[in-house]
Structure 1
Amino acid sequence: MYKIIIDSCGELSEEMKENGHFANVPLTLQVDDAEIVDDMTFDQADFLKKVAASEESPKSACPSPDAYMQAMDCDADHIYVITLSSQLSGSYNSACLAKDLFLEDHEDKKICVIDSKSASVGESLIGLYIASCEEAGMDFETVVENVGNYIENQHTFFVLETLETLRKAGRLSNLKAKLASTLNIKPIMGSTEEGSIQQLAQARGMNKALDRMVQSMMEVTKNCENRVLAISHCNCRERALQLKEKIEKVASFKDIFIVDTAGVSSMYANDGGIIMVV
């Protein structure tokens, strides 16, 4: 028996939700005085409305060790915990503490805490990969070794419709944000090997930005036919479908699936943002 626990920055597809091997542990979001739990009750439309109306940047708080321990308390012998990048959140450290505490009373369990070095559907893809390894009959140690190699070859990309969250967070000056908005400049962002965020390129207009993102992805992706690609979008499903069509014109992936961003990913991507991971 195995269990794959993913913090709520990682979206679960409908199939993953129906599969008893997956579980989410929620982070908490804060917009001004409103505290929002990133679980099944998350209302994306209401959250985006609150973010747009606030002069402050939204914030997130990682799950407590106790929340992780509750998720670990299950029948599974092999437990995998996947967190968003340790460069972006304390979720990984919280899960590591939970593992140490839990194993004090459950020495028979095998638990691995995994720093995704990504976010959003990057975490989801890692979970699906672990499930495929378990279903193939691999032992725990082999799965852990293989997932480390998988993460090293995973790439995360995203394009933002608006730079307001970055401006509010102080990561972009008011002047730069205004110029980018006036000139319709869309930055194409990606993850580094360490799991932090870097700008890869920029383009005038969303359509050109999506083209550039696909180009960046193809430059680092091999053996597409053996890989699954995932897209998450924040309130822009038509844009996600457009991106999927662009990808299918240049490569044939094993599968491409699309999900809505949950709370934490909605906070990062903001309204109209789109994330692609392979």
Structure 2
Amino acid sequence: MKTAVITDSASYLTKEQAQKYNITVLPITVIFGMDQYAEGVDISATEFLTKLATTEKLPTTAQVTMGQMQEAFDELSAAGYEEVICVNLSSGITTFYENLVAYSRDVTNIKVYPFDSKIASAGEADLALLAGKMATEGKNANEIIPRLEQLRDSIKVDLVVDNIGHLLRTGRISNTSAFIGNMLRIKPILTFDHDGKIVPLAKEHTMRQAFNKVLATMDDSILEFTTPVRISIVDANNPKTKASWTATIQEHFPNAIVETNQIGPSISVHTGEKAMGVLWATDWQYLSEL
């Protein structure tokens, strides 16, 4: 059984990662007025944030279409793949997953396994990398999906946004929470709940206080892990803060694998510039070798 893996650009896999594990990455569309850009193809994270700073109206996004998915299915089928695992953006913030589930019932040239990541960015990337590595080693969907579920269940994330106004205007968090946050000029700490929705977790008055809160949460959480841990620090154009957070986290958790990544356009639309996130989970490479 030859198994393929598809993800979307909200995973922010590098080209090298996608090529190494033969992962197909389909771009989400970022829309500024009448102009449309394929994320990671027509617009970079830096270019997006430059445009975001000068635009009067917030941009929007359009998810990967079923037409794009079918085109990818056709190419994979022609290349000899018999099944494909689709690791995509959380169903809690987009209808893509449920649309794919419905659409996949009528796909005849390849067996489609939609997988709800219930996360975004580095968490989605880790899931795609786990699936990709196992698939390149000859594993099939029946072997890969239980590992994906194990990894997904282990994922914890804290997201600190500099200005919650973007999440309010794009409808990704409740109006009440956002309104209070803006009025008090606080730094909200958000997370993904069990349904993959973005929900408030805590609030602090400064980014430093927010980070200390995140670090305390990680201390308690990581103690409960019985497996190797991988930690990802992500940012939306906040390199100085990311460097500081990364150094502290590496020192604080010397036995964990620590890596960094960016929050790109399709997520920055909602978080705004300067957002910081930390994600920790069972190391996906460890799971791939069980």
* Cα contact 1:3–1:79 (8 A) shared by 2: yes
Q: Which amino acid aligns with 2:180?
A: K
Pairwise CA distance, 1:270: 1.3
1:86 matched residue in structure 2: 91
Secondary structure of residue in 2 paired with 1:66:
helix
2:283 matched residue in structure 1: none
* Cα contact 1:69–1:98 (8 A) shared by 2: no
1:60 matched residue in structure 2: 61
- TM-superposition CA deviations, 1:149-191 (whole Å, max 9, x none): 221221222111122313434644786354333xxx2111111
1:10 matched residue in structure 2: 11
Secondary structure of residue in 1 paired with 2:12:
coil
Secondary structure of residue in 1 paired with 2:42:
coil
Q: Which amino acid aligns with 1:9?
A: A
Distance 1:80 1:56, change over 3 A: same
2:161 matched residue in structure 1: 160
Pairwise CA distance, 1:67: 0.4
Distance 1:234 1:211, change over 3 A: same
2:236 matched residue in structure 1: 234
Pairwise CA distance, 1:6: 1.0
* Cα contact 1:62–1:94 (8 A) shared by 2: no
CA distance in 2, matches of 1:49, 1:164: 18
* Cα contact 1:69–1:99 (8 A) shared by 2: no
CA distance in 2, matches of 1:71, 1:243: 38
CA distance in 2, matches of 1:269, 1:248: 25
1:35 matched residue in structure 2: 36
* Cα contact 1:96–1:113 (8 A) shared by 2: yes
CA distance in 1, matches of 2:226, 2:59: 36
Aligned with residue 184 of structure 2, among 177, 180, 188: 180
Q: Which amino acid aligns with 2:272?
A: N
TM-score (norm. length: structure 2): 0.82
Distance 1:251 1:179, change over 3 A: same
Q: Which amino acid aligns with 2:184?
A: A
* Cα contact 1:5–1:82 (8 A) shared by 2: yes
- TM-superposition CA deviations, 1:225-268 (whole Å, max 9, x none): 61222222111122222222222222235422212222212212
Q: Are residue 266 (structure 1) and residue 287 (structure 2) matched?
A: no
Q: Which amino acid aligns with 2:219?
A: M
Secondary structure of residue in 2 paired with 1:9:
helix
2:288 matched residue in structure 1: none
CA distance in 1, matches of 2:259, 2:15: 11
Q: Which amino acid aligns with 1:179?
A: M
Structure 2 residue ranges without an equivalent (≥5):
281-290
Secondary structure of residue in 2 paired with 1:12:
coil
1:244 matched residue in structure 2: 246
Pairwise CA distance, 1:85: 0.9
2:70 matched residue in structure 1: 69
Aligned with residue 257 of structure 1, among 247, 256, 259: 259
Aligned with residue 96 of structure 1, among 92, 101, 104: 101
CA distance in 2, matches of 1:84, 1:175: 26
Distance 1:110 1:265, change over 3 A: same
1:114 matched residue in structure 2: 115
Once the two structures are aligned, what percentage of the paired residues are identical?
Answer: 17
Structure 1 residue ranges without an equivalent (≥5):
none
CA distance in 1, matches of 2:228, 2:179: 44
* Cα contact 1:64–1:94 (8 A) shared by 2: no
Instruction: Give the CA RMSD over aligned residues.
Output: 2.5
Distance 1:269 1:139, change over 3 A: same
Aligned residues between the structures: 271
CA distance in 1, matches of 2:52, 2:184: 20
CA distance in 1, matches of 2:89, 2:269: 13
Distance 1:224 1:135, change over 3 A: farther
* Cα contact 2:163–2:182 (8 A) shared by 1: no
CA distance in 1, matches of 2:132, 2:47: 34
Secondary structure of residue in 1 paired with 2:188:
strand
Q: Which amino acid aligns with 1:100?
A: R
Distance 1:133 1:203, change over 3 A: same
2:285 matched residue in structure 1: none
